[in-house]
Structure 1
Amino acid sequence: MIKTNIRIGGVPEHFNLPIHQIKENGTLDRHGISLEWTDFYGGTGQMTKALREDDVDICILLTEGIVKDIIKGSQSKIISEYVITPLTWGIHTGLENSLQKKDFIFDKKHAISRFGSGSHLISIVNANSKNQQIAEEQFTVINDINGAIKSLNALETDVFYWEKYTTKPYVDAGIIRRIDEYLTPWPCFVIAATDSILEKHPEKVDLLLDLIQESCKKFMKDDSVIPVVAERYDQQLPDVERWYHSTEWATNSWVSDKMLKSVIYHLKSANIINEDEHIPELIWKK
């Protein structure tokens, strides 16, 4: 069987285990797909750049990040929702920082993995939801979680947004502090693909989606994955149990137009995109 090579990437986090499972158990090979996975430690901003530069064909990334990047000219489409529950962002600070829960944070220095990343966009969306603003000069690019830890504890920055359960081991170990949380007002992860791969191999992309969604169905029915996630991602079992039972994956390729409309509204309200910005086609029309 001639296999189709597809380059795919995502953050090295527990959300993506259903995809790793079908790569590792031979399911994709049996269906003629050779999947080349890349971990993007820099998050959504790094992935949108990789999609633009044709370094990857498909990414699992934050909804608001890819919506913003397609509007700004990326030759990509959203091909499916992936995790349909909202993301719980932890809001973190350094050990010696005086910030506490409910303190005013919008005049502080914010660490972000890169401009256009979730840590950047969500800090602006959160501020806007409370009728506040964050100036561009308040942001410092720190690349990844390790850069954030160093920056926060050196008091170079004050605030860092990252997924709550991914950072929890650092919080539990007393390396950084979590002072608050923020829940995104939309499904957290979607799957996006370049126009190029959609034109070259639409049938294989569609098949890949079917296989990912079938894996997600099995994942959600099988509680035995909980200890697997805990061990593989160095998480505490009670934390994984809470995460697993509060997370739902998409089992079809439907993408809500109303959801995207809401994302665009928030991006405009937060001045991340212009009020009169042209909105191109965001969703893959098969």
Structure 2
Amino acid sequence: MEKGIFSKHGIDLEWSDYKLGTGAMIKSIKEGEVDVIIALTEGLVSDIAQGSDLRLFATYVKSPLRWGIITGGKQDQFKDVEDLKCQKFGISRPTSGSHLMVSVLALERGWHPQKDVSFEVKGSFESLRNSVNDGSTSAFLWEYFTTKPYHDKGEVKIVGFITTPWPCFMMAAKKHFISQHKTALDSFLKATREACSLFHDTNDSLHQIAKKYDIETDDAKAWFKAVQITASSGISAPALKRVVNALYQTKVIQTADFDIEDLIDKNLAELDNDIHAMKLYNKPELVKFVRNNLIVKSIAAGPLDYKMLLDFDQHHYFGTDAVDEFVSLCGLNSSSKVINIGSGLGGPARYLAGKYGCQVLAVELQEELHRTARELTERCNLHHLVHHISGDILQVGQHLKENSYDTIVSWLTVLHIPQRDLLFKLSYDLLKPEGKFYAEDFFKVSLFNEEESRILKEDIYCPYCPDMNTYKSQIKQAGFQELKVDDLTPTWTEYTKQRVLKWRSDKDNLVSIHREDTYNRLLSFYNQVATLYQGGHLGGARFIATKTSLQ
């Protein structure tokens, strides 16, 4: 504001900080004290879902909020998050973020959100810290960077982390205010984006953050690097569905069955789809799948060997056999440097490191998969060989050194990336001479029918599926001189069919481990994929492209 950005856009802005949080801001806007609020997504969705006349009109911070899982400084009995099952969690107030995120943690860990955790209201951050030290609660969840100074001093211990599976801050206003001031709000968003860009580009911003929030400069840098302030009118539909589901599971709202469009003002905002629209990812099914198996095998905490995870951390077709074939075809060894695009829960990356000694950069877009993968890798003592990064490969790749990697591999991830030309060119630039780009991926055999197109776009999140000739042409246009292609359609058609049959035949055992809802959701996804292959219009192939010279 001091730089006149909002005035330049014709906006007379008065900014107010609300230290009492989202609830206080919602109360203030309803009483007419403010026109627009920027607040926690889950708090806003909760209020709107319960009949409020507020509406979301923009995503303010696209990145998720990172929560620390906190115990007392001297409570040595809680060394791992799994030790907190069936313990009492302190919360600031019912339906607060500290309450809701414990339920998200329970769901992700495979705990029952009502039976395996209990709550006690403690109010302020200070009272929560006191409670884990006097023993009235075992743990609480709070924003990580706010908590870290107290961890550094030894007052509390951070035993783990969890991030919101949705963007952390949204903008909202009353419906009638939006309808009367649409032009002004458009200008407000433009000014906010300009101010955010200036904030990110200003060298002094880090020092301002450290000073204002009383945190170390290194912590300010870490926050600054991770936060994505966008002020965008695009709002993720899958993210809103996740918020609604979490609120329903926590019994904050009584039904999850309503139209997500009713949460937004469609005159200003529009719903976007992202990879979380995919049925495999729009709830933390894969994370729960792994957590449940760890519990059943009595290895939910403590050191691991990567081999102990192989039955349930390889989610691509043919598991470790496919990874072995990749190693053989690309001639990898213990000196090889590999980028794994869409590394998921880290199974292939750990296998490459554990069996072959490869150095692997595991890049995963989805924070909850990345976080769980990193935890498992550390428990397997493979973190010296596997480095996990959470982010979009197209953005992460801009910070990597060119001509530095022996192989870049993707198992069924390229299908989620519509900007193939950018991906292939980035891969070419990052590979060493004679390096190989290896992808197992979808291609279009012939024209999809309307239902197949819908499933690919909405349930699989495959927004673009080219035919074989187009796919090969795009790879060669990136600069690759050699390309070998193997059509795997018959093999994958049979594999996906057998996967469904095996899943159904083992229903009783799987339901006992994962519960009916998770079983049915995964079965639905497996069925859809198998049906696509059997329809004859979807194919699968292996693409191996070699960079034969520097340009």
The interval holding the TM-score normalised by the smaller chain is 0.7 to 0.9
Say if 2:106 is the partner of 1:165: no
1:96 lines up with 2:77 in the alignment: no
State yes or no: 1:194 paired with 2:158. Answer: no
**Is contact 2:193-2:230 (8 Å) kept?**
yes
Higher helix share: 2
1:123-142, aligned counterparts within 5 Å? Answer: 123-135=102-114, 138-142=118-122
Aligned residue number for residue 181 of structure 1: 161
**Which residue matches 1:231?**
211
Q: Which amino acid aligns with 1:247?
A: V
Cα deviation, 1:166-211, whole Å, max 9, x if unaligned, reads: 1111211222221110122222211122224324433333322221
Shift of 1:216: 1.1
Figure out how many residues of one structure are paired with residues of the other and give that number: 263
Deviations 1:190-244 (A, max 9, x none): 1122224324433333322221121112222334311221122211011111111
Structure 1 SS opposite 2:16:
strand
2:171 counterpart letter in structure 1:
I
Name the residue aligned to 2:461: none
Do the aligned residues in 2 keep the contact of 1:128 with 1:270 (CA within 8 Å)? no
- 1:47 counterpart = 2:25: yes
Structure-to-structure mapping, 1:237-248, within 5 angstroms: 237-248=217-228
Task: Confirm whether residue 283 of structure 1 aligns to residue 264 of structure 2.
Answer: yes
Which structure: larger Rg? 2
Shift of 1:149: 1.7
SS in structure 2 opposite 1:191? strand
Question: Is residue 81 of structure 1 aligned with residue 59 of structure 2?
Answer: yes
Partner of 1:145: 125
Q: Distance in 2 between matches of 1:211 and 1:162?
A: 31
Aligned residue number for residue 212 of structure 1: 192
Shift of 1:55: 4.8
Which of 216, 220, 235 is 1:255 aligned to?
A: 235
Partners of 1:116 and 1:54 in 2: how far apart? 23
TM-score calculated relative to the size of structure 1: 0.81
Cα separation, 1, equivalents of 2:33 and 2:132: 31
2 CA distance for matches of 1:251 and 1:66? 16
Match of 1:16 in 2: none
Paired with 2:29 and 2:96, the residues of 1 have a C-alpha distance of: 14
How far apart are residue 80 of structure 1 and its match? 0.6
Contact 1:45–1:116 (8 Å) recurs in 2? no
User: How far apart, CA to CA, are the structure 2 residues paired with 1:161 and 1:32?
Assistant: 37
Q: How much has 1:276 moved relative to structure 2?
A: 5.3
Structure 1 residue 36: deviation in Å?
4.1
Task: Specify the SS of the correspondent of 1:33.
Answer: coil
Indicate which of 97, 111, 122 corresponds to 2:101. 122
Provide the TM-score with structure 2 as the length reference. Answer: 0.44
Gap change, CA 1:53 and 1:175, over 3 Å in 2: farther
**Contact 1:47–1:61 at 8 Å: present in 2 too?**
yes
Q: How many angstroms does 1:251 deviate by?
A: 4.6
**Per-residue CA shift, 1:25-60, capped at 9, x if unaligned?**
44445634131403233x334434444555543222
Contact map agreement 1:64 1:118 (CA 8 A) in 2: yes
Distance in 1 between residues matched to 2:23 and 2:85, nearest whole Å: 21
1:131 and 1:236 map into 2 onto residues whose CA distance is 35
Alpha-carbon distance between aligned partners in 2 of 1:217 and 1:201, rounded to the nearest angstrom: 24
Is the Cα contact below 8 Å between 2:103 and 2:246 reproduced in 1?
A: no
User: 1: CA distance between counterparts of 2:174 and 2:130?
Assistant: 34
Q: Which moved more, 1:232-241 or 1:53-62?
A: 53-62
Structure 1: runs of 5 or more not aligned: 1-21
* Greater Cα shift, 103-112 or 176-185: 103-112
Query: Match of 1:69, as an amino acid?
Result: D
The aligned counterpart of 1:17 is none
Given that 2:41 and 2:167 are in contact with CA atoms closer than 8 Å, whether structure 1 keeps it comes out as yes
Q: Equivalent residue of 1:79, what SS?
A: strand
SS of aligned partner of 1:152: helix
Show the counterpart of 1:154.
134
Task: Please identify, of 46-55 and 206-215, the stretch whose mean Cα deviation from structure 2 is larger.
Answer: 46-55
Q: Percent identity?
A: 32
Give the conservation status (yes or no) of the 8 Å contact 2:210–2:220.
yes
Q: Distance in 2 between matches of 1:70 and 1:229?
A: 32
Cα deviation 1:100-129 (Å, max 9, x = unaligned): 223432322211122221111111111012
Task: Give the drift of 1:68.
Answer: 2.2
Shift of 1:152: 2.3
**Which of 1 and 2 has higher RCO (CA within 8 Å, sep 6+)?**
1
Q: In the alignment, which residue of structure 2 is the partner of 1:72?
A: 50
Comparing 275-284 with 175-184, greater Cα deviation is found at 275-284
Confirm whether residue 33 of structure 1 aligns to residue 12 of structure 2.
yes
Q: What do residues 5-25 of structure 1 show as CA deviations (whole Å, max 9, x unaligned)?
A: xxxxxxxxxxxxxxxxx2x44
Determine the structure 1 residue equivalent to 2:374.
none
Give 1:92 shift.
0.8
Paired with 2:249 and 2:114, the residues of 1 have a C-alpha distance of: 15
The 3-state SS of whatever aligns with 2:67 is: strand
| 1:106 to 2:85 alignment | yes
CA–CA distance in structure 2, aligned partners of residues 193 and 230 of structure 1: 30
Q: Is the 8 A contact 1:106 1:132 kept in 2?
A: yes
Return the letter of the residue paired with 1:113: S
Q: Which amino acid aligns with 1:111?
A: G
Work out whether residues 58 and 193 of structure 1, in 8 Å CA contact, stay in contact via their aligned partners in 2: yes
Q: Give the CA deviation at 1:77.
A: 0.8
User: What amino acid sits opposite 2:60 in the alignment?
Assistant: Y
Report the CA distance shift for 1:241/1:199 in structure 2 as closer, same or farther (over 3 A). Answer: same
